[in-house]
Amino acid sequence: MIDLYWTVIPVMLVHYYATHPMAHYDWWRSRIAILMTWVWGLRLTHNYFRREGWQWGAREDWRFTNMRQQYGKHWWWVSFFAVYLCQQVFLIGVSLPLYVVHSINKPLNIWDFIAVIVCVCGIIVAYYADTQLHEFVTMNAKLKDHGKPMVPSLDKGLWKYSRHPNYFGEQLWWWGLVIFAWNLGHGWTFLGALINSMCLAYVTMLVEDRMVKQDYRAEAYRLYQKTTSVWIPWFRSSAMGGKDKST
């Protein structure tokens, strides 16, 4: 159930900061941050329920299933500290730029618009990447049901240029918020986004290890790894080297 906290806690935090008695901020910057946080939260919530077949908590994240097997009878307390408690602190950390937005009153400038562009681009990239992934998973599920071979790797759309464009979009969102805080003199809040990026790098390794362990896609995915950028979208390269700019 921890995934759902990621969709609502930042929204709750931005409203808490905006309505706090000691809040001191530019009205327009505040409303922009609130609106974007709502759009980000709704996108993430929609993706969660779409991925889960419009059910609430119907299945456990495979990473937590693996951890449950690893820790056995100790999982009940390990999960409290390693999953739930630390992620609550984590969520507050990455949302600190929203606190800065509501603690300093400074007129809008060009950096605010740059921050908006980065955040909005992150939301759009993540939405289309997750939609393309959902369509791919749905197609493979239908092929499996009909006893047909499944497509081993998603390498179309945004996934042609990045192995994890959904992760890239999510990072754009959090780093876009950091630009808001940096512009207001609190660049130290980048630590939350940095730790988030480091954790996502670890998750990326877990996902890719899982992919190459699945027999039907192992060979295709290894080739995909050799030719496609990990996060930042870029032209594909051939397995022998060089760029492939064909459409």
Number of domains comprising the chain: 1
Q: What is the pTM of this model?
A: 0.90
**Measured CA angle at 194 (ends 189, 195), to 5 deg:** 105
Structure-token pair, residue 98: 């929203």
Q: What is the pLDDT of residues 31-53, one digit of tens each?
A: 999 999 999 999 999 999 998 88
Q: Kindly report the backbone phi and psi dihedral angles of residue 161, in degrees, each rounded to the nearest multiple of 5, phi listed first.
A: -110, -10
* Cα distance between residue 92 and residue 95, in whole Å: 5
Reduced to 3 states, what is the DSSP secondary structure of residue 244?
Answer: strand
* Cα distance between residue 215 and residue 219, in whole Å: 8
* Cα distance between residue 128 and residue 154, in whole Å: 14
Whole-number pLDDT of residue 75: 87
pLDDT, mean of residues 102-124: 98
Helix 165-183 and helix 27-51, axial crossing angle in degrees, nearest 10: 160
Q: Which long-range contacts (CB under 8 A, 24 or more apart) does 116-120 make?
A: 116/32, 116/36, 116/176, 117/176, 118/172, 118/173, 118/175, 118/176, 118/179, 119/36, 119/40, 119/172, 119/173, 119/176, 119/177, 120/36, 120/176
Whole-number pLDDT of residue 68: 85
Whole-number pLDDT of residue 60: 79
Containing structural domain, residue 22: 2-244
With a cut of 90, say whether residue 12 has pLDDT above it: yes
pLDDT, mean of residues 113-122: 98
